[in-house]
Every structure is written in C-alpha cells, then in structure tokens.
Amino acid sequence: METSGNSLLNENSRTDKGARDTDKEIILVSGSSGLIGTGLINRLVEHYRVVGLDNAGFPFPPIKSECVSIDITSEESMENAMKRIEYGYGNHIASVIHLAAYYDFAGKPSPLYDKITVEGTARFLRVLQRFSVDQFIFSSSTLVYKPSMPGQKINEDWPLEPKWDYPKSKVKTEKVLHEQRGDIPVVNFRVAGVYSERGNSIPITNQIQRIYEKQLTSHFYPGNLSHGNVFVHLDDLFDAIITAVDKRKELPKDVTLNLGDPETLGYQELQNIISNEIHGKDWKTYKIPKALAKAGAWVQDIFGDPFIKPWMVDLADDHAEIDITRAKNMLGWVPKHSLRKTLPKMIAFLKANPKAFYEVNDLKK
C-alpha cells in the first residue's frame, strides 16, 4: 500500500523512535559488508544504533548491526527498505553514510557506474526526503582532480579532471548531491586510496607482489619515477567519518573535504621502500616508452590476468598531493598513520604469512 509523508508513524501513533525503542541515535551505512563499511560499523556501534544496507545474501554486514537488504537500482526495493527502517526506528536519522558504489579496476566502461553510483545515489536521496536526516555522507575520490606536480597541494577548489569511468561517476554523483539533497546536509569526502597494515590497496599490494616475486615487469615503469598517488590509512578514514558524524550539527550544510596522507611517495621511492623491506636493497627501476608499455600490457592481458592494463599507462605520469587544511580546521582531523611507516608492517605481514597476505589482497600467483 502506498504511503506518503510520515504516515507509517502517524497511522500507528508511535513515537519517533519507532517499534525498536532505543536511546541511541540511528545511523544507516550503505555498502555495509565491504572493507570500509564493516570496520566503520564495528566502531560506530559503540555509540550509535547502526543499520547496514547492502545486497541480499553473503557477505553480510557485522552482526552488531541490523541488516536491511536493498537493491539500489530499484525504486521499489529502496522504498521497502526505508519503510522497514521507518517502522523499526522512526523517521529521524542521525547520519546516512553512503559507501555503496560500482568499481572495476579493469577500467572497462560499464553502464553500472551510472546505474549504481549516480542513479542509485539520486534514488537514495529521494526516498530519504520524508525523513528527518541530520547528515548524508558521501564517499567520493581524490581521483576526480586534475593531476598536480610535486610541491603543489590539491585543495577542494582544485580543477576537476576525472580520466576514467570510476572518478567520472563520482563527479556526476557529486553534482546529484548538490542539486537533489533538498534540506539534507551533505558531507562529500574526497577520499584517497585506502590502505592498512594488511595491505587492502590494489595498486600497492600488486606492486609489492611484483617485487616480492622478482617479476621482470617490476623493473620497468612508463611514467615519471618521482610522481606518485595519494593514499590514506583505513583507521584515519574511520576517524574522519566518525568525527563528521559526531560534529554533524556544527558543519556547513554542503561541504567537500579532502582526506589523504599529507606526504605523497614517488614511484621510485615506493619501489625502494618495498624492496629494502623484502630484499634489503634498492630496486632498479627503468623508465620505458608508453607505447612499449602498452604493447607489453596488451600481450600479458591476452595470456593471463595481469594487474597492469593498457589504459593505466596513460595515467603513469599523473601526480597528486593533497591539502587537508579544511578537514583539519573543520574536524580537527590529522592522519595518525603514513604509508611510509605502514609499508614495513605490510611487508612483515607478507613475510610472516605469504598465503594469508595473498588471500587477503586477492593476489594470484
């Protein structure tokens, strides 16, 4: 039966807390069974009542949260999920942390970027309009920015230049946030590549694997060896999100914040740190022409499933350094970790249990 406004509550004369009366404020986390969602929920439940939203079936969000199944591509599914939440918890939501998105590191174009990330977020915002929502947090990416040069810090006003479908979908979705949020306050986090002591970073762990196995390809790179990408530790990301939730009533109604390590390691420096931890010496790395790199990647793609794809070669010269001043000023957030200090711990995990390292990071021998 169709309902409107807060009719589910009005018809049954319940309080705003819903059937599951609780003094803890309610937080919704989409993409709740993923790496970020799982760890975040395990910390949020200390002070909040958390509802995890994700696809039906395995994997499931942490048992400490209630699981509500959604199909973010379906209007009916989203409506039913929110009716379930309205019945159980009332119409007030402290924060919605939206992590669900489509991602494919193969770099191939896909209609799912629009269907899941862009249109799914728009659909989510529509079904939330009848609720009293203190905050909507969106997980965007620092990949949306135009590359910088060493010494140039990218702030939130830096020009945008997404170069492949994943960051392009984030830019489209940010536009949806600004235009369709209604009265819901939005925090748009532009998040750097995530890592932890166990790895949990596709580009970094693949780079570690190439050096660990002494693969020939580990000695060649088609870009500027002094350039690099920006990353952020998983625990620092949790800290920023949780602080934003706690300070939600103090933040602007529509704000974008960068999250990343202040230091960016160049490719050669990253190679040397990894090699010294594994082999006790620097790693010889030679710059090769992009055309040769593309040809090599194309050949490997035919005969196997290499991490390096031809489309990545065009991005090899890109560089990013992030200015986190705004997050520091508004949240009091400063990363407690760094990639430089965490890499030795990653390598220690690899050395102690290579099988576990490969399994955790989905690496193929």
pLDDT in tens, 72-88: 999 999 999 999 999 99
Q: H or E element: which one contains 207?
A: helix 202-212
Determine the pLDDT at residue 4: 40
Q: pLDDT tens across 300-315, in order? A: 654 345 666 777 888 9
Longest dimension (CA), the chain: 71
Quick one: pLDDT at residue 18? Answer: 57
User: Domains of the chain: which residue ranges?
Assistant: 7-196+230-259, 202-229+265-319+340-360
Q: What is the pLDDT of residues 15-24, one digit of tens each?
A: 455 556 568 9
Mean pLDDT of 10-34: 71
How far apart CA 182 and CA 128 sit, in angstroms, is 10
The whole-number pLDDT of residue 6 equals 42
Q: Is the pLDDT of residue 2 over 60?
A: no
**pLDDT band of 109, cuts 50, 70, 90:** confident
Helical H segments across the chain, by residue range: 7-12, 35-44, 75-89, 112, 119-128, 165-180, 202-212, 234-246, 267-279, 290-303, 310-313, 325-331, 339-352, 354-360
Q: What is the CATH number of domain 7-196+230-259?
A: 3.40.50.720
Mean pLDDT across 303-328:
83
The predicted structure's pLDDT at residue 305: 52
Q: Is 287 exposed, middle or buried (0-12, 13-18, 19+ CB in 10 A)?
A: middle
Give pLDDT, residue 1.
30
Give 261-306 pLDDT, tens digit per residue. Answer: 999 999 999 999 999 999 999 999 999 888 887 776 655 654 345 6
Residue written as token pair 């020939």: 216
**DSSP track, 258-323:** EE--S----HHHHHHHHHHHHHSS----EE--HHHHHHHHHHHHHHS--S--HHHHTTTT----B-
pLDDT at 23: 81
